[in-house]
Amino acid sequence: MKRRTLLAGSLAVAAAARPLGAMAAPERSDVIVIGAGVSGLYAAMLLAEAGASVLVLEATQRPGGRVYTADHFDGRPELGASQIGPMYARVRDVARQLGVELAPGANINAPYSFIIDGRLISAQEWADSDLNQTVGDEREALPHTLSGMYVERRSPFRSLTDWLSPEARQYDISLYQWLKQQGASDAAIQLIDDGLVDPGVHGVSVLTQLQEATRSALEVQAATAQLGEDMDVFERFARTSSRIVGGSSRYTEAMAERLGDRVRFGKAVAAVDADGSGCEVTCADGSRYRSDYVVSAVPFSVLRNIRLRPLLSGAQGEAVAVMPYGRQSQVFMRVKKPYWEDDGFDASMWSTGPITLIRQQIDPDGSRTQLVALGIGRKGTVLDRLPPKERGQFVLDHLAEIRPSTKGKLEVTGVFSWEEEAFVHGCRHSYRPGQVGKYAEAMIKPHGRIHFAGEHTRRLDVGMEAAMESGERVAFEILERVMA
């Protein structure tokens, strides 16, 4: 409380020192935040609490960014974040402050069967199947757990910050190289490449995966202490996570509501001009705003389309220009009849075919009426080449061919692609091999009066919690400058 009062006082002094002429139009604030995702909203809340005048400019008509409940689809599925991990201290604290209700259990899915080379097989058949070309211990691991076997269980990191140490650079290699070093078979590597890795085993640095694995090991440890080892590890995690009652969007709506008219919608920032005296932000609709500091809380995939003056340079400029973003195309379906009862295979499917996952969600009330097909990475891009109306039919036809029991029992309720979202352009950042060493430190450094937040600037946390971690970091960066 004391620190807050002190910071508020410092901002007031800084504001009083401003020349009178600066009070004239365009609209002026201490800090402009670009983007009303979790990171931008949290940074704005902290700055406002410390006494700063803050304005959040959001390109779309809703807060949340990658927190997006599809209230307009049957079953109101989550298009983005849904799972609040057990270690999400900031997310949980803000939920409590804002009176947003959390409930236990999130992303609980029906168990998986597998589509390998166009053939449907059960988890029980996998170890001895002729489709299983893996070797040794790998044969017992289900295809979607192979990555965990080689990355999660073999992470050399003990602490969450190890990934940024100079010694960690030896792991800034491709996931492919790491798997080879660990003795993975070509068949196992192929299956891992077919899964959730984007941009593929050659295109992604294993270093951040090893750090995230260290983090999830802690969460799994806690989940295991609670639920024992019998349950599948994904289910243990799902059951010890939480969800936001009424949908994840209720969370970011409550954050925006707390900020009131300090959040402006339909304001796509097109340019930021910063010099020694302050910043001028210009939106695509021609409106202009002035501030002492700017927080960029947009992904690099869109920041690269915003004109910054002075230009970003060196590793930072390069990171913004080239950092890869994951692709994910989604087709939502309603289950009219339980197809799994007809053929006895588990309802969810992991596939080496054109769709990465077909996931059946088990709702909190136990109902099993929602299904989502996910095309991840290049499979997502291929799915997106079809016009939206044809994507659903493609998924239905594909499933009917591989798994005839689904025929006539599924109905498409909506399609969505994160790559097609103009103001996100992808679902999450990743680093290519060698890029952690090159970019991770440089890319989050303030560029004059411009500071950088967003999940891509994460240090310790993941997902929404990483976005909030970054919002907190920039808020304190700015407050420390004001106090200096």
Ligand X SMILES: Cc1cc2nc3c(=O)[nH]c(=O)nc-3n(C[C@H](O)[C@H](O)[C@H](O)COP(=O)(O)OP(=O)(O)OC[C@H]3O[C@@H](n4cnc5c(N)ncnc54)[C@H](O)[C@@H]3O)c2cc1C
Query: Within 10 Å of residue 218's Cβ, how many Cβ atoms?
Result: 12
Give the shortest CB-325-to-ligand X separation in angstroms.
Answer: 10
Task: Give the H or E element holding residue 365.
Answer: none
Single residue of 82, 147, 405, 417 touching ligand X by CB under 6 A: 82
- The piece of 58-66, 189-197, 227-235, 272-280 that touches ligand X (CB under 6 A) is 58-66
Residue 393 has what DSSP assignment? H
Q: Which of 88, 81, 45 is nearest to 64 (CA)?
A: 81
Rg over CA atoms, the chain: 23
Give the shortest CB-223-to-ligand X separation in angstroms.
Answer: 15
Give the shortest CB-209-to-ligand X separation in angstroms.
Answer: 16
Write out the binding residues for ligand X, residues 320-339 only, by CB under 6 A. Answer: 328
79 in Cβ contact with 85 (< 8 Å): no
Give the shortest CB-216-to-ligand X separation in angstroms.
Answer: 12
Single residue of 95, 467, 478, 479 touching ligand X by CB under 6 A: 467
Give the shortest CB-249-to-ligand X separation in angstroms.
Answer: 11
Q: How far apart are alpha carbons 287 and 27 in whole angstroms? A: 9
Tokens of 307: 């004109």
Q: Which is nearer to ligand X, 267 or 403 (CB)?
A: 267
- Binding flags for ligand X, 243-272, as an x/- string (CB under 6 A): ------------------------xxx---
Q: Which is nearer to ligand X, 409 or 449 (CB)?
A: 449
Residue 108 CA: distances (Å) to CA of 152, 217, 360, 442: 21, 19, 9, 38
Single residue of 83, 155, 291, 430 touching ligand X by CB under 6 A: 83
Q: Which is nearer to ligand X, 148 or 299 (CB)?
A: 299
Q: Which residue's CB atom is positioned nearest to ligand X?
A: 37
Give the shortest CB-66-to-ligand X separation in angstroms.
Answer: 3
Q: Which of 454, 452, 450 is nearest to 468 (CA)?
A: 454
Q: Which is nearer to ligand X, 179 or 269 (CB)?
A: 269
Work out whether 306 is an interface residue with ligand X (CB under 6 A): yes
Work out whether 357 is an interface residue with ligand X (CB under 6 A): no
Total residues at the site for ligand X (CB under 6 A)? 38
Q: How far apart are alpha carbons 442 and 201 in whole angstroms? A: 25
Tell me what percent of the chain is helix, strand and coil, each rounded to the nearest 5: 40, 20, 35
Residue 180 has what DSSP assignment? H
Q: Which is nearer to ligand X, 173 or 460 (CB)?
A: 460
Give the shortest CB-343-to-ligand X separation in angstroms.
Answer: 29
* Residue entry with tokens 């936001």: 244
211 in Cβ contact with 162 (< 8 Å): yes
Q: Which is nearer to ligand X, 198 or 292 (CB)?
A: 198
Residue 411 CA: distances (Å) to CA of 75, 372, 383, 445: 12, 11, 18, 48
Cis upstream peptide for 446 (omega within 30°)? no
Residue 335 CA: distances (Å) to CA of 77, 173, 338, 367: 14, 42, 7, 10
Single residue of 29, 60, 240, 370 touching ligand X by CB under 6 A: 60
Write out the binding residues for ligand X, residues 390-429 only, by CB under 6 A. Answer: 418, 423-424, 427-428
Q: Which is nearer to ligand X, 409 or 458 (CB)?
A: 458
Give the shortest CB-140-to-ligand X separation in angstroms.
Answer: 28
Cis upstream peptide for 310 (omega within 30°)? yes
Query: Within 10 Å of residue 318's Cβ, how many Cβ atoms?
Result: 16
Work out whether 475 is an interface residue with ligand X (CB under 6 A): no
**Strand, helix or coil at 309?**
strand
Give the shortest CB-187-to-ligand X separation in angstroms.
Answer: 28
Work out whether 77 is an interface residue with ligand X (CB under 6 A): no
Write out the binding residues for ligand X, residues 102-131 only, by CB under 6 A. Answer: none
Work out whether 299 is an interface residue with ligand X (CB under 6 A): yes
Give the shortest CB-25-to-ligand X separation in angstroms.
Answer: 21
- Binding flags for ligand X, 25-44, as an x/- string (CB under 6 A): ---------xxxxxxx----
Write out the binding residues for ligand X, residues 170-199 only, by CB under 6 A. Answer: none
Tokens of 27: 């609209």
191 in Cβ contact with 129 (< 8 Å): no
136: left (phi over 0), alpha (psi -120 to 50) or beta: left
Q: Which is nearer to ligand X, 56 or 189 (CB)?
A: 56
Tokens of 434: 């060698």
Q: How far apart are alpha carbons 244 and 374 in whole angstroms? A: 22
- The piece of 44-52, 119-127, 157-165, 292-300 that touches ligand X (CB under 6 A) is 292-300
Give the shortest CB-73-to-ligand X separation in angstroms.
Answer: 14
- The piece of 167-175, 201-209, 397-405, 463-471 that touches ligand X (CB under 6 A) is 463-471
CA-CA-CA-CA dihedral for 231, 235, 241, 246, to nearest 10: -130
Q: How far apart are alpha carbons 433 and 431 in whole angstroms? A: 6
Site residues for ligand X per CB under 6 A: 34-40, 57-60, 65-67, 80-83, 267-269, 297-299, 302, 306, 328, 418, 423-424, 427-428, 454-455, 463-464, 466-467
